[in-house]
Amino acid sequence: MNDLIERLRYEADISDRPGQMDRLNALADEFAAALEAAREDAERWRALREMDGGEIYALLGDCDGIHPEQADAAIDRARGKGVQS
C-alpha cells in the first residue's frame, strides 16, 4: 500500500505533462481497489473483535492450520456477506 501511495503522489506531481492523465487515471483505479480491499479487511476484523471467545472458536475452530482466506470467508458469512455455504 505504501508503494501505491508513493506512486500516486509521484504521478500527481507530474500530471501536467503530456500523456500523464491516462496513467494517473489508471493509478487512481488501482488505488481505489486497494482502499476497498483494506476497508473490507477492517470491517472483518471489527466484526471479529466484537465477538467473544466462544463465538470466535465456533466460527474458526482452533485456527490451527486455517488459511487466511478461509478465516475471511467464515467472518464474512458471520457478517452476512459473501456466499453462504
pLDDT band, very low/low/confident/very high, at 63 (cuts 50, 70, 90)? low
Q: 69 and 36, same structural domain?
A: no
58 and 82 housed in the same domain: yes
Residue 68 to residue 70: CA distance in whole angstroms: 5
Query: Does residue 44 contact residue 79 with C-beta atoms inside 8 Å?
Result: yes
Whether residue 58 sits in one domain with residue 34: no
pTM over 0.85? The answer is no
Average pLDDT, the chain: 77
Task: Indicate whether 1 and 36 sit together in one domain.
Answer: yes
Decide if 46 is inside a domain: no
Does the residue 74 lie in any domain?
A: yes
Domain range for residue 59?
51-85
For residue 57, pLDDT over 70 is answered with: yes
User: Is the model's pLDDT at 62 over the cut of 60?
Assistant: yes
